Amino acid sequence: MGTTALGTYLRARRAQVTPEHAGLPTYGARRVPGLRREEVATSAGMSVDYYIRLEQGRERNPSAQVLDALSQVLQLDADARAHLYHLAGLTPATTRIAVPERVDPQLLRLMDMWPDNPALVLGRAYDVLAGNSVAHALFDGFDLGPNLMLKMFQDPAARSLYLDWEWVAGHTVAGFRALQGRWPQDPRLSAIVDELTATSPEFVAMWERHEARPKRLTTKRFHHPSVGDLTLQLQAFDVRSAPGQELVVYHAEPGTSDAQALALIGTLAATRKAEQARP
């Protein structure tokens, strides 16, 4: 019996915790990175044989108490712990939905009412389902569609757009990993991973970290071809009417040069929209 996603995750996270960080003594040379299996098992209060069965996929139904103990030993934060629970099947993992993803028309109208706030709707696999005019203007030269993950690693323009490309890419991969935990049967998610695994060594290196972290309030630095560099805050919201979709909204700190630059981008977007509406 082959290993499971849970076993792979435990093994990857075990390799990232050093004995020093775990408060364990070290003796002599170590042949494995991070903690040994027996160190994890002993620290978590379980038998070594049981923990080995977890990693090897021979034990597939750990209890919540076991997962909590492993989370503490492996020093998982709240997002990583939630991902561990998803992989163990102790939280609802939404199954595949075979219908195409569509954006609620009311949400589209709401986004159009934000002339100074770039807003996107992302699907379960970070497909770009919609964006308002100022969002398209912000990502000018990058072309938002059709998939944010593929654009991040396959479009050279991404490295010019994001001043901290490696950091942004790492967070994007961690968010994608969290989505996979929620939607383990979604074929689109698997297809994106397969394509990037075959084409991008940088993606592979980030994916193998097994970091799982949903989008949240954060800061990103952009380079815009018309207004130069600007720093924006990002906030992501779950779309309750369409499970799996995320509304991502950007804003600048009021009274800053970033706000002025974003307002100029909004003006450019309005001008472009007016020109497109002319007969």
Query: Can you name the CATH fold of 105-277?
Result: Beta-Lactamase (3.30.450)
Residue 144: per-residue pLDDT: 64
Tokens for 30? 């170590």
Instruction: Considering the chain, tell me which residue range(s) the CATH 3.30.450.180 domain(s) occupy.
Output: 105-277
Cα→Cα distances 69→135, 208, 224, Å:
43, 23, 46
pTM of this structure: 0.75
CA distance 55 to 5: 9
pLDDT digits 0-9 by tens, 149-176: 999 999 999 999 999 999 999 999 999 9
Residue 177: per-residue pLDDT: 93
Beta sheet of 246-251, edge-to-edge order: 128-131, 119-122, 246-251, 228-238, 218-224
Pair 125, 186: CB distance under 8 Å? yes
Confidence band (pLDDT; 50, 70, 90) for 143? low
Residue partners of 66: CB distance under 8 A and separation at least 6: 44, 46
Please state the rounded mean pLDDT for residues 26-34: 74
The answer on pLDDT for 98 being more than 60 is: no
Instruction: Considering the chain, tell me which residue range(s) the CATH 1.10.260.40 domain(s) occupy.
Output: 5-88
Residue 128: what are its φ and ψ, rounded to 5°? Answer: -80, 105
Provide the strand spans (E) within the chain: 119-122, 128-131, 218-224, 228-238, 246-251
Q: Parallel, antiparallel, or unpaired for β 119-122 and 246-251?
A: antiparallel
Residue 217: per-residue pLDDT: 77
Distance of CA 235 to the CA centre of its chain: 13
CATH code: domain 5-88 is 1.10.260.40
Q: Kindly state the percentage of the chain with pLDDT values over 90.
A: 61
Is 131 in a helix, a strand, or coil? strand
The answer on pLDDT for 97 being more than 50 is: no
Nearest Cα to Cα of residue 51 among 24, 83, 14, 15: 14
The answer on pLDDT for 107 being more than 80 is: yes
Nearest Cα to Cα of residue 212 among 179, 167, 178: 178
pLDDT digits 0-9 by tens, 204-216: 999 999 999 887 7
Confidence band (pLDDT; 50, 70, 90) for 96? very low
Mean pLDDT, the chain, whole residue set: 88
Tokens for 129? 């389902």
The answer on pLDDT for 32 being more than 80 is: no
Q: Kindly state the percentage of the chain with pLDDT values over 70.
A: 92
Residue 74: per-residue pLDDT: 93
Please state the rounded mean pLDDT for residues 246-255: 95
- The residues with which 221 forms a beta bridge, in sequence order, are 231
Is 130 in a helix, a strand, or coil? strand
Residue 27: per-residue pLDDT: 67
Confidence band (pLDDT; 50, 70, 90) for 82? confident
The answer on pLDDT for 273 being more than 90 is: no
Tokens for 109? 């109208």
